[in-house]
Structure 1
Amino acid sequence: MNPYPPCANGSCTDHACCTPGYKYRWPNTLGMDGEKAKRIIEKDNPLVTGVIVPDGNYVIDNFCCNRVWIFVNKQGKVILPVPMVG
């Protein structure tokens, strides 16, 4: 798994609060190549870093305004849950 910047939240506790004026959900990336989805997400919202997570791997269970988990299957395609800030 690629490293990502330290967690940044400010006073936010929900997805929409973290990214005023930017997207915070990417349902349109489901089924897409993970690397392509990462590029789209980081272009749509320059405040976040997309982190590709192979299916079956565990992730840190904390809420971060500057991170988007992108879960992918063995073929490298984006799967549920929908990538979103947090």
Structure 2
Amino acid sequence: MALWCRGKMAWPELLGTRSEEAKSRIVKENPYVDVAVIREGRVVTFDIRCDRVRVWVNRDGVVTRIPFVG
């Protein structure tokens, strides 16, 4: 996680919530990021970006990892 990123950096309180709720809360609390909802098991890049939050969900659309900027 980069120290120079703006806005809120992590959302542990969203663990176990639905993806739609998580996405809307993240955008509301940090307007500097884009939110990508990713299903568990997908392959993603390992680059760190201040303008991205990945929301990992299971097949039921429930958040399975703490969303954070990066």
Q: TM-score range by the shorter chain?
A: over 0.9
Q: Report 1:43-62 matches (<5 A).
A: 43-62=28-47
Larger radius of gyration, structure 1 or 2? 1
Unaligned runs of 5+ in 2: none
- Higher normalized contact order (CA 8 Å, seq sep 6+, divided by chain length): 2
Where does structure 1 lack aligned partners over 5 or more consecutive residues?
Answer: 1-12
* Letter aligned with residue 54 of structure 2: W
In the alignment, the residues of structure 1 paired with residue 18 and residue 57 of structure 2 have an alpha-carbon distance, to the nearest angstrom, of 8
- Structure 1 runs of 4+ aligned residues shifted over 4 Å read none
What TM-score, normalized to structure 1?
0.77
2:4 is aligned to: 17
Distance 1:53 1:32 in 2: 14
Structure 1 match to 2:69: 85
Q: CA RMSD in A?
A: 1.1
